[in-house]
């Protein structure tokens, strides 16, 4: 697989990013993804500043390959997290849930690269104007918190590619080599995947969470908090208990659960834990090693591209 603008920004072999997931993609898992030639990311959400430093240090002890730190800008400590990343020599940060201007202004003084998550063309244009190096296009089908625009990855990515001069990364709706190749065909220069990496042996979530992902079908997720803070989760008793035709009440239910850790608590269960998941959960068939996942996506995508080149051509 050839290098492109995104791999040059990230310093990786492959244009494949681990989607940051709070209390899940920490130092160890991040390093394991980066060691495979992809780009691991530490999720800082809900972590004390000291723990962020600890997880960065752990990743650095386990890999010499590039990795990043995700900064949810809605969190009051976002700039403190940035400071920790700068102090410890992290070269790339990704930002989400807010305007990246302040982060860009400070991070650029240290020569850092910034990728910002967007869910509309207008957000992408603002991020480009702010000086980010690339945007991550988050489609409506993604897991966890998504944008309010309800635009799918298939529609969002090519519109961003046409509107922007900086690279676009596709996020949401990609669970295997077919989705990876499709994103590149849409003009994306890379892909961010979260749900697929949940079903790996190295992912530190309880077995009931992984089992629920493997049992999921095409209708196994639902979107909660559609008005204030949309979040896509697996359909279970907990999620159905929050779902409400009154959007304000549903939003209140999401806020109550937003900072709980039931989804990473081995004492919880598959009906009482609010488990983040994208719609691609229906593609998952088995729990595999991270290295196997990365190699299969890249190698099978290259093979499929070769096959497709001979399937059809205009006469």
Q: What are the pLDDT tens digits along the chain (315 aa)?
A: 678 999 999 999 999 999 999 999 999 999 999 999 999 999 998 899 999 999 999 999 999 999 999 999 988 899 999 999 999 999 999 999 889 999 999 999 999 999 999 999 999 999 999 999 999 999 999 999 888 888 999 999 999 999 999 999 999 999 999 999 999 999 999 999 999 999 999 999 999 999 999 999 999 999 998 777 789 999 999 999 999 888 888 888 888 877 777 888 888 899 999 999 999 999 999 999 999 999 999 999 999 998 887 765 555
- Report if residue 72 sits inside a domain: yes
- Looking at the DSSP bridge assignments, the partners of residue 193 are 18
Taking Cα atoms as reference points, which of 116, 186, 126 lies closest to residue 153? 186
Same domain assignment for residues 30 and 107: yes
CA distances, 293 to each of 181, 198, 200, 275 (Å): 15, 11, 8, 21
- Report if residue 83 sits inside a domain: yes
Same domain assignment for residues 228 and 92: no
Same domain assignment for residues 156 and 99: yes
Q: Taking a C-beta distance cutoff of 8 angstroms, is the pair 23, 261 a contact?
A: yes
Taking Cα atoms as reference points, which of 223, 193, 222, 195 lies closest to residue 209? 195
Residue whose tokens read 């959960």: 281
Same domain assignment for residues 130 and 235: no
Instruction: Note the pTM of the prediction, 2 decimals.
Output: 0.93
Same domain assignment for residues 26 and 104: yes
pLDDT at position 312 is: 55
Last residue of a domain, one of 183, 203, 223: 203
Cβ neighbour number for residue 37 with a 10 Å cutoff = 17
pLDDT at position 265 is: 84
Last residue of a domain, one of 203, 234, 257: 203
Q: Taking a C-beta distance cutoff of 8 angstroms, is the pair 144, 231 a contact?
A: yes
Domain range for residue 39? 9-203
Same domain assignment for residues 105 and 240: no
- Report if residue 287 sits inside a domain: no
- Report if residue 229 sits inside a domain: yes
Q: How many domains does the chain have?
A: 2
Last residue of a domain, one of 203, 235, 266: 203
Same domain assignment for residues 90 and 165: yes
- Report if residue 306 sits inside a domain: no
Q: How far apart are CA 250 and CA 26, in angstroms?
A: 30
Same domain assignment for residues 45 and 185: yes
pLDDT at position 190 is: 97
- Report if residue 123 sits inside a domain: yes
Same domain assignment for residues 238 and 189: no
Same domain assignment for residues 146 and 247: no
Same domain assignment for residues 156 and 226: no
CATH number, residue 114 = 3.20.20.70
Same domain assignment for residues 50 and 185: yes
- Report if residue 298 sits inside a domain: no
- Report if residue 307 sits inside a domain: no
What is the separation, in whole angstroms, between the first and last Cα of the chain?
Answer: 28
- Give the CA radius of gyration of the chain: 18
């Amino acid at each position: 697989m050839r290098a492109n603008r995104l791999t040059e920004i990230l310093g990786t072999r492959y244009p494949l990013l681990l989607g940051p997931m709070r209390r899940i993609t920490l130092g160890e898992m991040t390093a394991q993804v980066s060691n495979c030639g992809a780009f691991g990311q530490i999720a800082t959400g809900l972590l004390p500043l000291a723990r962020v430093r600890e997880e960065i240090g752990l990743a650095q002890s386990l890999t010499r390959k590039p990795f990043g730190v995700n900064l949810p800008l809605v969190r009051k400590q976002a700039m403190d997290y940035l400071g920790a990343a700068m102090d410890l020599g992290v070269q790339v940060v990704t930002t989400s849930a807010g305007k990246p201007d302040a982060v860009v202004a400070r991070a650029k003084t240290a020569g850092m690269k910034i990728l910002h998550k967007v869910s509309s063309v207008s957000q992408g244009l603002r991020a480009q104007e702010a000086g980010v190096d690339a945007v991550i296009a988050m489609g409506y089908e993604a897991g966890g918190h998504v944008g309010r625009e309800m635009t799918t990855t298939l529609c969002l990515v090519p519109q961003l590619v046409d509107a922007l001069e900086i690279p676009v990364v596709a996020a949401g709706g990609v669970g295997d080599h077919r989705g990876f190749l499709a994103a590149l065909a849409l003009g994306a220069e890379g892909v961010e995947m979260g749900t697929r990496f949940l079903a790996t042996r190295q992912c530190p979530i309880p077995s009931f969470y992984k089992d629920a992902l493997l049992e999921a079908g095409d209708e196994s997720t639902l979107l909660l908090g559609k008005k204030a803070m949309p979040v896509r989760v697996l359909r279970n008793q907990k999620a159905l208990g929050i779902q409400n035709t009154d959007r304000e009440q549903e939003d209140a239910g999401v806020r109550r659960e937003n900072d709980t850790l039931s989804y990473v608590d081995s004492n919880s269960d598959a009906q009482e834990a609010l488990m983040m998941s994208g719609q691609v959960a229906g593609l998952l068939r088995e729990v595999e090693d991270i290295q196997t996942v990365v190699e299969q996506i890249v190698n099978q995508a290259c093979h499929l591209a070769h096959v497709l080149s001979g399937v059809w051509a205009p006469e």
